[in-house]
Amino acid sequence: MHIPDGFIGVGTSAVAGLGAAGGFAYALRQVRRYLTDRLVPLAALAAAFVFAAQMVNFPVLPGMSGHLIGGVLAAVLVGPSAAYVVMTIVLIVQAFLFADGGLTALGLNIINMAGVAAVGGYFVYRAILRLSSGTRNAVAVSACIAAFLSVPMAALAFAGEFAIGGTASSVSVSSVLWALLTTHSLIGLGEGVITFFVISAVVNARPDLVYGSPDFVGERTEALTS
Amino acid sequence: MNRNVALALAAVTVILITGVVLSQFSSSDPDGLEYVSQQQGFDDAAQDHTLDDAALADYGENLDQGPVVGTAVAAITGLAATAIITVGLLWLVRGRHHDSSRTP
């Protein structure tokens, strides 16, 4: 899922970088509204878990692997704004320490994995939860479905960036879009399963700590249910 | 043991097992985006990473101690870096606006 340098032109990448930076500033402002003593260690654990899980590529098809994005997982645990911050930190560490994800593509990767997968995925999560009974199992199942969907959503974002600024002009955008959506829907199955088990374990042990749980103790920057 | 400490210890254990142990079995096949770029014929557009020669590039592949130690060193460094930066940044953001009455 990490875009290398060269796939997307410099202009599009620069605009994405500005957007990602603006999103980061906004997310930090939002985080301040619900930042408590308990959120800081939770966010640090979420960041470390996302980093660790992204090191583990699981086989998906012969010759193709996938790994957790962790956006919905982080957003359900610590809220969408803190998740945007956490995902951005992970992506910066990966790009600068581990040469994973291009430096000019950093903004694009932040938009796709912090913006679309984590924040976008959180709003999908909330929409699904509103249709449900709101129990702890419903939290884990809603997170599972939203996590599954967040992977093709992020792939769709890449397809959009590729359509706008892709450097390979001889390639059919619709063919790339279709290939991205099918492969990333399969990868999303893994995302859903991992997210289900982690959220299920945490929400059953400590529902009061889970931002996306109806039993969360603390402030939210937006209502969980209408 | 305090419930928060127990949860934190459990989380750290899961994180270390994932980063240090499970990562040793990570598939080396291309990920979804790289696979699609190969199938669709635009993988040539990918440039080498600017920091390919960095000490921990590709999660420890450049280290001399072999893949197992390299991956473990990369994992522990990355886990520590992401966690420390997150704590540091949130602590800075919190700054002097901190109101302890908001802590539940």
| pLDDT digits 0-9 by tens, A134-167 | 899 999 999 999 999 999 999 999 999 999 999 9
DSSP, collapsed to helix, strand or coil, labels residue B98 as coil
CA-to-CA distance for B96 and A24, rounded, in angstroms? Answer: 20
pLDDT band at B100 (very low <50, low <70, confident <90, very high): low
Q: Which residue has the higher pLDDT, B65 or A27?
A: A27
Tokens 């939002």 belong to residue: A30
Residue from B4, B20, B48, B86 whose CB has the most chain A CBs within 10 Å, to mutate: B86
| pLDDT digits 0-9 by tens, B16-68 | 999 999 999 999 999 999 999 999 999 999 999 999 999 999 999 889 888 99
Structure tokens at A125: 């999560």
Percent over 70 (pLDDT), chain A: 100
The answer on pLDDT for B103 being more than 70 is no
CA-to-CA distance for B51 and A103, rounded, in angstroms? Answer: 9
pLDDT band at B96 (very low <50, low <70, confident <90, very high): low
Flag if B103 and A179 touch (Cβ within 8 Å).
Answer: no
Question: Largest Cα–Cα distance of chain B, in whole Å?
Answer: 58
Percent over 90 (pLDDT), chain A: 96
The answer on pLDDT for B1 being more than 90 is no
> What average pLDDT does the structure give for chain A?
96
pLDDT band at A188 (very low <50, low <70, confident <90, very high): very high
| pLDDT digits 0-9 by tens, A88-124 | 999 999 999 999 999 999 999 999 999 999 999 999 9
Find the DSSP H helices in B26-66.
32-39, 57-60
The answer on pLDDT for B91 being more than 80 is yes
The answer on pLDDT for B99 being more than 90 is no
The separation between CA A56 and the C-alpha centre of its own chain, rounded to angstroms, equals 16
Q: Is A6 on the interface with B (CB under 8 A)?
A: yes
Three-state SS for chain A is CCCCCCCECHHHHHHHHHHHHHHHHHHHHHHHHHCCCCHHHHHHHHHHHHHHHHCCCEEEECCEEECCCCHHHHHHHHCHHHHHHHHHHHHHHHHHHCCCCCCCCHHHHHHHHHHHHHHHHHHHHHHHHHCCCCCHHHHHHHHHHHHHHHHHHHHHHHHHHHHHHECCCCCCHHHHHHHHHHHHHHHHHHHHHHHHHHHHHHHHHCHHHCCCCCCCCCCCCCCCCC
Output the pTM of the full model. Answer: 0.95
CA closest to A216 among chain B residues? B104
Flag if A51 and B22 touch (Cβ within 8 Å).
Answer: no
Q: What ipTM, to 2 d.p.? A: 0.95
